[in-house]
Amino acid sequence: MNDASEATIMLFVVVGLIVFDALQALIIILDKGIYKDEREELMKKSVKELRLMLIGVKRTSRLCKEELTDMLVTA
């Protein structure tokens, strides 16, 4: 092969690898999601875990899970 065809093949290989990497990144983003609802993620945690996240805030012992989640989202 001459230099021109070798350079062309190398170019296509590099472009193919870049496109493959970009598609792989898009699939990961679609699978995991970019924007996750913070409230949903907090509702998956236990009340004890939510209270641990609010260390230093007074009067959290009598709050229910929804109220603790509201405090964390607004903070």
pLDDT per position as a tens digit, 20-73 = 999 999 998 887 777 777 888 889 999 999 988 888 888 888 889 999 898 888
Q: How far apart are CA 55 and CA 37, in angstroms?
A: 23
pTM of the model: 0.53
Q: How big, in percent rounded to 5, are the helix, strand and coil portions of the chain?
A: 70, 0, 30
Contact 69, 50 (CB under 8 A): yes
